[in-house]
Amino acid sequence: MESNLFHLQYAIDTFYFLVCGALVMWMAAGFAMLESGLVRAKNTTEILTKNVALFAVACTMYLICGYAIMYGGSIVLSGMGDVDVDAVLGEFAGREDGFTGGSIYSGAADFFFQVVFVATAMSIVSGAVAERMKLWAFLVFAVFMTGFIYPLEGAWTWGGKDVFGMYNLGDLGFSDFAGSGIVHMAGAAAALAGVLLLGARKGKYGPNGEIRAFPGANMPLAAIGMFILWMGWFGFNGGSVLKLGDIANAHSVAMVFLNTNAAAAGGAIAALITARLMFGKADLTMLINGALAGLVVITAEPSTPSALTAAIFGAFGGVLVVLSVVTMDKLRIDDPVGAISVHGVCGLLGLLLVPVTNSDVSFSGQIIGALTIFVWVFIASLVVWGIIKAVMGLRVSEEDEYEGVDLSECGMEAYPEFVSSK
Amino acid sequence: MKLVTAIIKPFKLDDVREALSEIGVQGVTVTEVKGFGRQKGHTELYRGAEYVVDFLPKVKVEVAIGDSLLDQVIESITKAANTGKIGDGKIFVTELEQAIRIRTGETGEEAV
């Protein structure tokens, strides 16, 4: 009888990971739509190609070596195959923390849930470098980011390993529930390194400090992208509870969904008001960034805050992201979609807010963790981007940038007109 | 024959088309264009960066007509497209040297 319960608990916890993983996978569509809406029409095909290809590269590299680096186990997932049902039942029976303790579920589900997070981190980079980077330079970087750079910092955080044998972040009181720092700030760090080596789009910044607008070509796509990301985030944060099959955890999952939603709403409202006050009009793209900023902020700790606190934390993110976008432009760091502001700046804020509602976590631990992640990813990325720049170049030619990377990188327009076959 | 080109406000297109039908004009070509006269544009904001939109959306209506219809066409378009506010547009009349109906090969006044 008891073993039947174990079967069910394994099944529900495995199923839960799979569904949440599928939701996070759906975020890839969100990023693709958001980014294609915020770039100009002549660069749409290329950014879509980047988004689809990076997802495939991330899944493959993580399968080949990333997962092994992050959590141990064999490369190419060679150990993953059958399940020994009796051994698993034995694990359940021998569990020290009992039925309501840590979850036991399929290793395949664990991989699936983890791999979609890698893809999310990588996807953050594609928006920041949009409209002027060589497609293949980006994909080469993706190989290294998803195969090595991300997995290493993931190993030091969720993997519990010492940082180059020097110190242990878990021991120092660092906590990042679903990845404000590990996924979002890390992605932004890689993006920042890329953007600094790449340079701004031609004509974006004038010689006398002018900032020229390059309006995105498709607001409906941007909006639907944001909503897709919002929905996918329920899987991102919800799945990070890591268990569904007992009363306490199921409730925790519900609180996480609730808080994730509240933070997004708070961020959206705060950004809208901030943009209205600063610019005199409601800026849809800032509203979108605000909702996402709220989501990023709460990602570090979506289970302990009250719903109202989650909304307020989200609102902090909403205000911060608008200020950050404007500041980045003032610093002449060109980020067409605000990725570094949404994921980097607000990812850091998310990490720093955790100790406010979670007393097991220390501010010093969060700062050390944030620095560890940022310094590692930023420096490693700079090196990889730098090598790519030296070997094949990062940037398309001025003429190609003018004509649009759809033509130079993909040979295909997103909105073709007046075409004829030979 | 004359080629009458009218630049009008986009929401006036239906009124102009109906008015032209009523006086017997059979064919019209319509293009979406952008432009400005004395109306000028406005400034917009995108993520905190200001930019100027000089060119306003307009619609260009072209009709090829026989000389006898010219005064009626000008009057029709003017009445239909007029709002009294700045930016109503302009009408240009050019001499049409030749016109050919592609299907039948008819030329001249029979083709318009």
Tokens of A183: 């996924």
Question: In degrees rounded to 5, what are phi and psi of residue A102?
Answer: -65, 150
B46 with A325: Cβ contact below 8 A = no
Which sequence spans correspond to the domains of chain A?
Answer: 2-418
B46 with A213: Cβ contact below 8 A = yes
* A214, A215, A279 ranked by CB distance to B48: nearest: A279
B84 inside 8 A of chain A by CB: no
**Which chain B positions have a beta carbon within 8 Å of A286's beta carbon?**
47
The yes-or-no verdict on residue A133 having pLDDT over 90 is: yes
Helix orientation angle between A363-391 and A135-144, rounded to the nearest 10 degrees: 130
What distance in Å separates residue A23's CA from the closest CA in chain B?
Answer: 30
Q: Which of A77, A64, A328, A70 is nearest to A186 (CA)?
A: A70
Which residues, at least 6 apart from A209, have a Cβ–Cβ distance to it below 8 Å? none
* B44, B48, B51 ranked by CB distance to A325: nearest: B48
What distance in Å separates residue B47's CA from the closest CA in chain A?
Answer: 7
Helix orientation angle between A186-198 and A107-128, rounded to the nearest 10 degrees: 30
Q: What is the pLDDT of residue A28?
A: 97
CA A288/CA A343 separation, integer angstroms: 13
Banded model confidence at residue A132, pLDDT cuts 50, 70, 90: very high
Residue of B109 and A189 predicted with greater confidence: A189
B47 with A325: Cβ contact below 8 A = yes
What distance in Å separates residue B70's CA from the closest CA in chain A?
Answer: 34
B49 with A279: Cβ contact below 8 A = no
Find the distance separating the first CA and the last CA of chain B, reported in whole Å: 8
Q: What is the pLDDT of residue B92?
A: 98
B50 with A283: Cβ contact below 8 A = no
B44 inside 8 A of chain A by CB: yes
Tokens of A3: 């073993």
The yes-or-no verdict on residue A97 having pLDDT over 90 is: no
What distance in Å separates residue B46's CA from the closest CA in chain A?
Answer: 6
Banded model confidence at residue B34, pLDDT cuts 50, 70, 90: very high
Which sequence spans correspond to the domains of chain B?
Answer: 1-109
CA A291/CA A318 separation, integer angstroms: 7
Q: What is the pLDDT of residue A274?
A: 97
Tokens of A304: 């302990």
B45 with A279: Cβ contact below 8 A = yes
* A215, A278, A280 ranked by CB distance to B46: nearest: A215
**Which chain B positions have a beta carbon within 8 Å of A325's beta carbon?**
47-48
The domain B1-109 having CATH identifier 3.40.50.300: the answer here is: no
B46 with A286: Cβ contact below 8 A = no
For residues B11 and B56, the answer to whether their CB atoms sit within 8 Å is: no
Within 10 angstroms of residue A89's Cβ, the number of other Cβ atoms is 16
Q: What is the pLDDT of residue B38?
A: 81
B51 inside 8 A of chain A by CB: yes
Q: What is the pLDDT of residue B91?
A: 97
Q: Testing the interface with B: which of A208, A210, A211 to mutate, by most B Cβ within 10 A?
A: A211
**DSSP character string of A176-200:** -SS-IIIIIIHHHHHHHHHHHHH-P
In angstroms and rounded to an integer, the radius of gyration of the C-alpha atoms of chain B is 17
ipTM score of the complex? 0.76
* A213, A281, A338 ranked by CB distance to B49: nearest: A213
For residues A54 and A129, the answer to whether their CB atoms sit within 8 Å is: no
Q: What is the pLDDT of residue A74?
A: 85
Write the pLDDT tens digit of every residue in A298-356: 999 999 999 999 999 999 999 999 999 999 999 999 999 999 999 999 999 999 999 99
B51 with A215: Cβ contact below 8 A = yes
**Which chain B positions have a beta carbon within 8 Å of A279's beta carbon?**
45, 48
**Which chain B positions have a beta carbon within 8 Å of A281's beta carbon?**
45
Helix (H, G, I), strand (E, B), or coil: what is residue A385? helix
Q: What is the pLDDT of residue A77?
A: 86
Q: What is the mean pLDDT of residues A381-393?
A: 98
The yes-or-no verdict on residue A293 having pLDDT over 80 is: yes
- Lookup result for tokens 């975020």: A27
Write the pLDDT tens digit of every residue in A105-117: 999 999 999 999 9
Look at chain B and count its residues.
112
B86 inside 8 A of chain A by CB: no
Q: What is the pLDDT of residue A363?
A: 95
What distance in Å separates residue A326's CA from the closest CA in chain B?
Answer: 6
Q: What is the mean pLDDT of residues B7-25?
A: 95
Per the CATH hierarchy, to which homologous superfamily does domain A2-418 belong?
Ammonium transporter AmtB like domains (1.10.3430.10)
Q: Testing the interface with A: which of B45, B47, B53 to mutate, by most A Cβ within 10 A?
A: B47
Banded model confidence at residue A230, pLDDT cuts 50, 70, 90: very high
Query: What's this model's pTM, rounded to 2 decimal places?
Result: 0.91
Q: Which of A38-47, A97-106, A123-132, A314-323 has the lowest mean pLDDT?
A: A97-106
Q: What is the mean pLDDT of residues B20-42?
A: 90
Q: What is the pLDDT of residue B54?
A: 86
**Which chain A positions have a beta carbon within 8 Å of B44's beta carbon?**
213
**Which chain A positions have a beta carbon within 8 Å of B48's beta carbon?**
211, 278-279, 283, 325-326, 329
Q: What is the pLDDT of residue B10?
A: 96
* A211, A280, A338 ranked by CB distance to B49: nearest: A211
| Pairing state between β B29-35 and B56-65 | antiparallel
Write the pLDDT tens digit of every residue in B55-100: 899 999 999 999 999 999 999 999 999 999 989 999 999 999 999 9
**Which chain B positions have a beta carbon within 8 Å of A130's beta carbon?**
none
